[in-house]
Structure 1
Amino acid sequence: MDTKTIFLDACNVIAAQLDGFEIYKKGQRLKKNSPDKDMFFEITFESSYMNAPSHIMITPNIAIYSKDLKKWQIEHTKNEFSNGLIYGSHLGYTTPHNTWKKWNVAGLSFERSVNEIAGNIQKYVLPIFELFNSKENAIEVLKNNGTKFNKYAEDSLGPIDFLLCCSDKETSEIFFNNFIKNSGHNKKIVSFYEKLKTEQEIDLNYSEFVDARHLKLAFMNNLSIDNH
């Protein structure tokens, strides 16, 4: 079999071990809706153009989206390409691997790799998706723990859009300030936030660095930074 066929076989063998997901793109995209049908969860599989018969790589990614958030983002950022993303990560960053992990599914590695990927999704990813089965629970989790969904997941400012859309200002500020307090770049964040006060125009669709767009959105929604 060619490398593309083996890669797609791996995607589908993984999918067969996960319940309740719809399969798209010949197995490269798996999707499940939350009970309220607003939020939905995706697992996607990337490969590499450098694949060879002995080296067929697969990288699983996870994402959580909201249809309501997509509408809110389009309205508030004037970006018609907004997608309603609440949270996204690579599988490796939510597991003990703690890195952008790629798996080889060529030859004798196939069975071991697909079983390990499916096992990691079941153990570490599906519990994250379950936290978002209701907006109320998702908001409470983000307010109290940020995106530290388990001891391996990294803290992310990404869900600030979701909280501004679906919760109140107080909740958004608690999440926002907890992220800043725990960030290794809090001085840079605070300095940038202060600089925004002097800007005549703020472009929400340009990001000077990671999280700059989220900081701009927080600023334009009048979130305050505590003295840390």
Structure 2
Amino acid sequence: MDTRVVFLSACNEIAAQLEGFKTLEKGQRLKKISTDKDIHFEIYFQSSFRNDSSSIQILPHINIYSKILKKWQIEQRKNEYSQGLIYGNQIGYLTPFNNWKEWNLAGLSYQNSITEITESIQKYILSIFEIFSSKETAIDFLKNNGTKFNQWTEDSISPLDFLLCFSEKETAEIFLNNFVDYCPYKSNILKLYENLKSENEIDLNYSEFHGADAIKLAYVQGLKIQ
């Protein structure tokens, strides 16, 4: 059987076991919209150009977006390509696998992989989506926990834009400082913040290191690092 057919069949079998998701791109992308119609949750199944009859890889990712945040980012960053992304990750990093995870759909691996992916989504991903089903719940969670949604996930600076857009300045500042305190490249952030004081023009769409664009936006918005 054609590897693409096998891949899409697996995507749709997984989708059939998840309630409330709309299938797009022949099942490769699943989408669910929050009750307030602003935030939408996405599960995307990445394939591999190296697929053959003995190895058909499927790599699941999640993304959480906000339409209001997208408009806000376009205005603040002066970037028409802003997507309104709140948070995204590869499922392997959000589960006990705690690593980049690929599943094989070829041969006898097919059903086991579908079962494992579906269970991972049901046990560990839907609870993350639930946090963001309410902006108030999400803001409170991020303020107190950062992006440590469970014992395997790591802190990410990604939701800072979301907090700048929807929460009080003080809340975004708490989130930022909590992230910086435990960030392995804290010295880079502190150095950047200091250098920004002498910058005449700040490019909010360029990152000297991972997350530097968000750090710059925080500076422009008047957030202080303790």
Same fold (TM over 0.5): yes
State the distance in 1 between where 2:61 and 2:88 align.
Answer: 7
Write the deviation string for residues 172-200 of structure 1: whole angstroms up to 9, x where unpaired: 00000000011111112111111111111
Match of 1:91 in 2: 91
Work out whether 1:191 is the aligned partner of 2:186.
no
| Aligned residue identity for 2:72 | W
| Aligned residue identity for 1:72 | W
Which SS does the other structure have where 2:123 is aligned? helix
Structure 1: runs of 5 or more not aligned: none
Work out whether 1:164 is the aligned partner of 2:164.
yes
State the distance in 2 between where 1:90 and 1:150 align.
Answer: 14
Work out whether 1:79 is the aligned partner of 2:94.
no
Write the deviation string for residues 119-149 of structure 1: whole angstroms up to 9, x where unpaired: 0000000000000111111100000000001
**TM-score with structure 2 setting the length:** 0.99
Match of 1:124 in 2: 124
State the distance in 2 between where 1:70 and 1:188 align.
Answer: 27
| Aligned residue identity for 2:83 | N
Q: Percent of aligned positions with the same letter in both sequences?
A: 61
Match of 1:4 in 2: 4
Write the deviation string for residues 9-28 of structure 1: whole angstroms up to 9, x where unpaired: 11011111111000000000
Match of 1:24 in 2: 24
Structure 2: runs of 5 or more not aligned: none
How much has 1:98 moved relative to structure 2? 0.9
| Aligned residue identity for 1:5 | V
How much has 1:206 moved relative to structure 2? 1.1
How much has 1:104 moved relative to structure 2? 0.3
**TM-score with structure 1 setting the length:** 0.98
Match of 1:43 in 2: 43
How much has 1:77 moved relative to structure 2? 0.5
Instruction: List 4+ stretches of structure 1 deviating above 6 A.
Output: none
Which SS does the other structure have where 1:210 is aligned? coil
| Aligned residue identity for 1:53 | S
Match of 1:148 in 2: 148
How much has 1:6 moved relative to structure 2? 0.3
